Structure 1
């Protein structure tokens, strides 16, 4: 579910940054009487495979935001705040994410067919090309072909995590 209140996300972002984290995503669910705020945070400039947000980090951000949310007009006092890591398959939501994670394996899903191939493509992210308003995501497909997909055509993008098989008898 998308954010219902863009102002809430915009006001929350600098508060999260002051705590040393990046606001990745704010999802609002529940009802007006009992809203659920799902906040995804990350370490600024983190890269795949590097240490990420801990449970203690999530608790610290939650405790720091609660007094501010308690005072927020129009937000039911029965709200639920859930703070978590974006996970190993972190969403790519802003243009800076597409630059930051260049070199990582990603999946992109489009509103329609992407690069004349499919609605969903996977490959190695090469970065973002073009100027604001006409930006394109550059992707190296598994067949080593490079394609550029207009950012406006992408509904969702995320990092891809490959689980390693290991252990005895595998």
Structure 2
């Protein structure tokens, strides 16, 4: 297994190659992700924009259980160190400072409450939260997030559980709430999540049993 230093060097090499082929975001993603990994923090989004003679690198970070100010500060220091190290490395021709082609400003933040839910992990982190979803087929739903997996999510809409595939959702965002959710809503979601977990465990056990059976049949032949 490569060490942290080896992973950093590899990521810097990938960044340099990606930059030569074009695309600042593509160049920086492996470098920044590598810097964040030891912190248990994920790169949620990355945007590089020009502001006058400078580049502004906007990094949004998140973690499985949410992220606080201290974690954002640690992530900012780690990303800054990684970018500075990459920018100081000699590029083709021996010059340094070629990562951005000039000065840059780094901004590291956590996701805002209005961040669209576009990936399964966004939905997982929004469990029990109230969301507003605009559907591909038309119309909108407002419901509380329950069980979710890689394919879709269960929403509690007016005390009724509704399963949605992510492909059915055009856009979804978390709603700001000023009152705690009703206990009955939380109970319904907890029961549904428990059933979803049992079903997922059953599927995993069936797959394991099928694998064992296949291996046994192969050995007997």
User: Equivalent residue for 2:122?
Assistant: 97
User: Equivalent residue for 2:154?
Assistant: 138
Kindly indicate whether residue 117 of structure 2 is the aligned counterpart of residue 85 of structure 1. no
Cα RMSD (Å) of the superposition? 3.1
Gaps of at least 5 residues in structure 1 are: 47-51, 165-170
- Seen in structure 2, the aligned counterparts of structure 1 residues 145 and 44 have a Cα distance that, compared at 3 Å, is closer
If you compute each CA radius of gyration, which structure gives the higher value, 1 or 2?
2
Structure 1 residue 82: Cα displacement: 0.6
Greater percentage in helix: 2
The number of residues matched between the two structures is: 146
How big is each residue's C-alpha offset from its partner over 1:37-70, in whole Å with a ceiling of 9 and x where there is no partner?
Answer: 2212234323xxxxx411x543332222123223
Please show how residues 1-170 of structure 1 align to structure 2 within 5 Å. Answer: 5-30=25-50, 34-46=54-66, 52-54=67-69, 56-70=70-84, 71-72=86-87, 74-89=99-114, 91-110=116-135, 112-114=136-138, 118=139, 120-128=140-148, 135-141=151-157, 143-163=158-178
Gaps of at least 5 residues in structure 2 are: 1-22, 88-97, 180-221
Structure 1 residue 155: Cα displacement: 4.0
Tell me the TM-score normalized by structure 1. 0.65
Greater percentage in strand: 1
Tell me the TM-score normalized by structure 2. 0.52
Q: How far, CA to CA, are the matches of 2:60 and 2:166 in structure 1?
A: 22
